[in-house]
Amino acid sequence: MKGVLIDWGGVLTTSLSDAIKGWIIGERIDPVHYREVMTELIMGAYQLGAVDGNPVHALERGELPIADFERDLAARLRTLDGLPPSPDGLLERMFAGFHPVPAMYDMLRTARAAGVRTCLLSNSWADHYDRSGWEECFDAVVISGEVGMRKPEERIFRYAVETLGLEPPECVFIDDILPNVEAARAVGIVGLHHVEPEQTLAEVRARFGF
């Protein structure tokens, strides 16, 4: 094994559910309605055989302006007062509760020190990334909205691997969304489904020996 491809939100950060929970409480979003809306959007975007045309697809590939997506999403949601939330800066507010997981970043630094090549491979919902310290952790950064491709499309995995100068079987891919992991496996990459840091770190240690 010579390479690590790794997701950002929910893997290098605290969980998406925790971040969203804080935003829902803070902005008094109707939680039941939110789950219904997002289940339809996300399942439509990531389920096997998903038909293109979902606004999530266009957002993640950088084809849909962020402000347009925010207006669309705000119109679908409602607060406990029955009104839509403000669309301006909606995604930034939703993801403000993401916090880095130091142990995962330490793993990447250790990997690079051992000669392993590393690549961030993330589907972007606006540029909400904290990029501080990235130069220490990544040999390459592949963000969907910047390259016009998204997970779980085969081409983005091949692009990321080629960017590292490696072959798919030489790489491990870590993601918290199972369809993305399965798509990576389909092109020959070793896929690890991230559930919690301790488990993922143990699997990485077992495969790389550091």
Q: How would you label 31-54 residue by residue, b for 16+ Cβ within 10 Å and e otherwise?
A: eeebeebeeebeeebbeeebeeeb
- 62 and 118 housed in the same domain: no
Residue 129 phi, psi (nearest 5): -80, 140
| 8, 98 Cβ separation under 8 angstroms | no
Q: Give me the pLDDT at residue 182, please.
A: 96
Kindly state the percentage of the chain with pLDDT values over 90: 84
Return the pLDDT at 48: 54
pLDDT value at position 35?
94
Q: Are residues 125 and 149 in the same domain?
A: yes
Same domain, 54 and 157: no
**Taking a C-beta distance cutoff of 8 angstroms, is the pair 174, 157 a contact?**
no
Segments of the chain scoring below 70 in pLDDT: 48-52
Mean pLDDT of the chain: 93
Q: Which amino acid is at 156?
A: I
User: Could you give the CA distance from residue 169 to residue 78 in angstroms, rounded to a whole number?
Assistant: 45
Max Cα distance, the chain (Å): 55
How many structural domains compose the chain?
2
At residue 183, what are phi and psi to the nearest 5 degrees?
Answer: -65, -40
46 with 118, same domain: the answer is no
Q: Looking at residue 52, what is its pLDDT?
A: 64
Q: From 163, 170, 102, select the one nearest 138 (Cα to Cα).
A: 163
Q: Which of 61, 77, 94 is the last residue of a domain?
A: 94
First-to-last C-alpha distance (Å) of the chain: 12
pLDDT of residue 49: 54
Considering the entire predicted model, what is its pTM? 0.92
Structural domain harbouring 8: 3-14+98-208
Does 146 lie in the same domain as 77? no
* 105 plus 196 within the same structural domain: yes
Say which amino acid occupies 141: V
DSSP class per residue in the chain: --EEEE-STTTTBS-HHHHHHHHHHHHTB-HHHHHHHHHHHHHHHHSTTPPTT-HHHHHHTT-S-HHHHHHHHHHH--BTTS-PPP-TTHHHHHTTT--B-HHHHHHHHHHHHTT-EEEEEE--SSS----TTHHHH-SEEEEHHHHT--TT-HHHHHHHHHHHT--GGGEEEEESSHHHHHHHHHTTPEEEE-SSHHHHHHHHHHHH--
Q: Are residues 172 and 77 both part of a single domain?
A: no
Q: What are the pLDDT digits (tens) for 117-126?
A: 999 999 999 8
